[in-house]
Structure 1
Amino acid sequence: MAVKYAINPDRNKPWNDMPLFPIDKENYHNLEIYEALVESKAALARLQGRSATLSNQGVLISTISLQEAKASSAIENIFTTDDELYKAYSETDQKPIFGPPKEVLRYREALWQGHAYMKGKKEFDQGYLDLVYQTIKEANDSIRSPFSQIVIRQGGSELNTGQVIYTPPRGKGVLENQLSNLLEFLNDDQKYPVDPLMKMVMGHFQFEAIHPYRDGNGRTGRIFNIHYLTHIGLLDFPILFLSKFIIQNKDEYYGCLAGVSQRGDWKKWILYMLKAVELTSNDTYNKINEILSVKDEILEELQKNSSIRRPELLVEIIFTQPYTKVKHLTDKKAFAENTARNYLNELCDLQVLEKRTIEGHHYYLNLELYRILSN
């Protein structure tokens, strides 16, 4: 059956006539896609149900969002180690942070800035997109200039490296019109009665194809995905770790994007993204269970075999992030400085924490939390 979708045959020409939403149902109305949609929504619902039972969702939110930031940045070839990232995140005294850890932490900040922006909002708007982009890039600009000569080139070190593989649209009013259509599609369920998870999948392609900003479009688009799911109520908090799947299947991700623009192959793109939602929902669900299980075991051990007072509070703090400092306990006015230091050292003796000295500063690594997040 012929696909009713106008493709972009010339990779060197701006795709100004990219089809607006809605796309013809023929592009996605088939049994395989709807079966995958059912599986994805079931996994997402299970994750939502499990996370809703947490007494302190902030613990999970802090740790999972940090890993999402790390993976999403890695897709854009911004790499940092877990140790570098967690050390930077653990700093509470506003020391300057440089290099890849700073970029990753900006992504995490954008994740939370965007989430806060959408609270009480009925619809996504240009202000939301600009906020996320500007936070990621530490920028003040908005949609790129009509004269911007941005092209997407083949990466890597093979024979085709550097060749143009896609040219996003440009020109006076072009991006504004396409973004307006995208936002209307996502916001207006009466005019566009498409399943919300399908809307997220389709909308992600459209945003990346529009490529509205001079840089940071991939990261902005992936944050947009998560916030869309929270906005429509499929998740309470932005804890879906989609970037892990994408970084593990990076070539397929870009191949499926190109498949839509060059061949009109919406099916492969939709199936890829639905599989990403299903598997990362399951992965995050399992991480929640592991974190809660080890927290309970550690708390039980402290209650039975330690002299620590208020062990519940201490365990809560050491599970907020992988690296803990004495200052984290004293800043929360939970413990006096000497008491905090003694308790953290006692946890080292129990092999719950591992003390590390970095540049003369003492950090306490939560070994089990670190292991769970690194898998």
Structure 2
Amino acid sequence: MYFRLMDRNGFTDRATGSLIPTIGGRKAFVPSPLPPPHVTVERFLPELTRATQAVGELKGIGRTVSNPLLLVRPLQRREAVSSSSMEGTYTTLTDLFLFEAGDNQAAIRGDTREVANYVRALEGAIGGLAELPISTRLVRDAHRVLLSGVARHRGAAVEAGELKRDQNWIGGGGRIDTARFIPAPPAETPSALDTLMAFVNRLDRPAPLIDAALAHYQFEAIHPFADGNGRVGRMLITLMLIDNGTLPQPLLYMSPYLERHKDRYIDLMYAVSRDGAWEEWIAFFLEAVAVSAEETIAVVERLQDLQREYRERFQTARRSALMLRIIDLAFERPARSISNIADALGVTYAGAANNVRELVHAGVAEEVEGSYPKLIRFPGVVAALGMP
């Protein structure tokens, strides 16, 4: 990746903000308020049309599902794994499902716990939209959940839910004098964030997908927290698309695409700050929306096909109706204890265990060796999500 030190000469006269003095004799970048001048919807009509059509098709698929949680919950966990791995927090989708099911081995792995925090933070923020607008309070609440209880080297020294109190920077190996980018100083951060939220909540919003591109860049340029900015900034995309009605259900998540193109993703945001390269960034973002929606449609179709296959396979007169209900539960959370299955369906432990045993014998489910309480996982469902 090409690095240029952030100093007075590193930014052109097209920079999209102001450079102000900060610690170490360096300059910090404070982005100008949105929207940027000279950025018009007409310039992005081809990219916007493709992205809008893909999102519309995804919305349509979501409406065909009787229980949206069968899609929303696994897709949110897929997003959590990808978004977290971009920040150096690694786990597998299988381990995340096992952690949530109560697996003791998964529970002792700090990264898995932190990725589970991402899920809780995202779900909490989406739920918070019923009572709050997208606001500094909402993102601070998400940040508080994201970094609660993490290991010290993963951000426990950071005050979860609090805006940064010290100057942060990006790149440079821990040294501000070699940093690639120095975002807004702490004193400028609350005002910059409030201005961003005013943009997000304004009444005139002709192009919600472009708004999301602008707001995501702006959040990352402000970098309001000491840690966790990338993850909270990607949550902001989902929150905006739900809040403005682009998606009635939280089905679109872009981190798998952004993770594959991480260097370009970061470089393009930096180029906006340094050179005012809005067109390149917005075009990339709309491409990411389109591809992410198209890929999510494929994931949803795989899940629906697999669910249909399982139901047809076990939907016979000799099979218990309970077995079909267990199969449906597997698509919501493909790792569970037998006690959890029994409680979720309101049946006895023995009834759940007998039906699970048949699913294991048929190769649809498998027992997790050494787990206590006894855990069952459904590997086919995880495979359909396209991640290990």
For normalisation by structure 2, the TM-score amounts to: 0.86
1:150 has 2:168 as partner = yes
Give the structure 2 partner of residue 53 of structure 1: 64
Give the structure 2 partner of residue 106 of structure 1: 117
Say which of 238, 252, 256 aligns to 1:244: 256
Give the structure 2 partner of residue 185 of structure 1: 199
Say which of 70, 80, 100 aligns to 2:81: 70
1:265 Cα deviation from its structure 2 partner = 0.8
Distance 1:161 1:183 in 2: 28
1:315 has 2:331 as partner = no
1:290 Cα deviation from its structure 2 partner = 1.3
Give the structure 2 partner of residue 263 of structure 1: 275
Say which of 210, 214, 222 aligns to 2:222: 210
Distance 1:315 1:29 in 2: 45
1:41 Cα deviation from its structure 2 partner = 0.8
- Residue pair 2:303, 2:385 contacting (<8 A) in 1 also: no
Give the structure 1 partner of residue 5 of structure 2: none
Residues 1:107 and 1:236: Cα distance change in structure 2 (over 3 Å) = same
- Residue pair 1:28, 1:266 contacting (<8 A) in 2 also: no
- Residue pair 2:164, 2:225 contacting (<8 A) in 1 also: yes
* Residue segments in structure 2 that go unaligned for 5+ positions in a row: 1-11, 149-158
1:301 has 2:313 as partner = yes
Deviations 1:231-267 (A, max 9, x none): 1111122221210001111111111111111111111
Give the structure 2 partner of residue 115 of structure 1: 126
Residues 1:258 and 1:8: Cα distance change in structure 2 (over 3 Å) = farther
Deviations 1:310-355 (A, max 9, x none): 3332221122212132112112243311221121110112121122
Deviations 1:3-36 (A, max 9, x none): 96545689941113x21122112x45664x2210
User: What letter is aligned with 2:211?
Assistant: K
Say which of 126, 150, 165 aligns to 2:136: 126
Distance 2:318 2:99 in 1: 31
Structure 2 residue matching 1:345: 3-state secondary structure: helix
1:142 Cα deviation from its structure 2 partner = 1.9
Distance 1:322 1:152 in 2: 37
- Residue pair 1:353, 1:365 contacting (<8 A) in 2 also: yes
Deviations 1:124-168 (A, max 9, x none): 2221111111111125542222xx12111157xxxx999411001
Give the structure 2 partner of residue 169 of structure 1: 184
- Out of 220-229 and 131-140, give the one that drifted further: 131-140
Deviations 1:80-138 (A, max 9, x none): 12332121011299x965401110010000111101111144x3222111111111112
Structure 1 residue matching 2:250: 3-state secondary structure: coil
Say which of 55, 61, 81 aligns to 1:44: 55
Structure 2 residue matching 1:21: 3-state secondary structure: coil
- Residue pair 1:8, 1:261 contacting (<8 A) in 2 also: no
Say which of 287, 298, 303 aligns to 1:275: 287
For normalisation by structure 1, the TM-score amounts to: 0.89
Distance 1:141 1:7 in 2: 26
Residues 1:206 and 1:42: Cα distance change in structure 2 (over 3 Å) = same
Note the aligned Cα RMSD (angstroms).
2.7
Residues 1:260 and 1:334: Cα distance change in structure 2 (over 3 Å) = same
Distance 1:13 1:165 in 2: 11
Distance 2:170 2:221 in 1: 10
How many residues in Structure 1 have an aligned counterpart in Structure 2?
361
1:189 Cα deviation from its structure 2 partner = 2.8
Distance 1:103 1:203 in 2: 25
The percent of aligned pairs where both chains have the same amino acid is 23
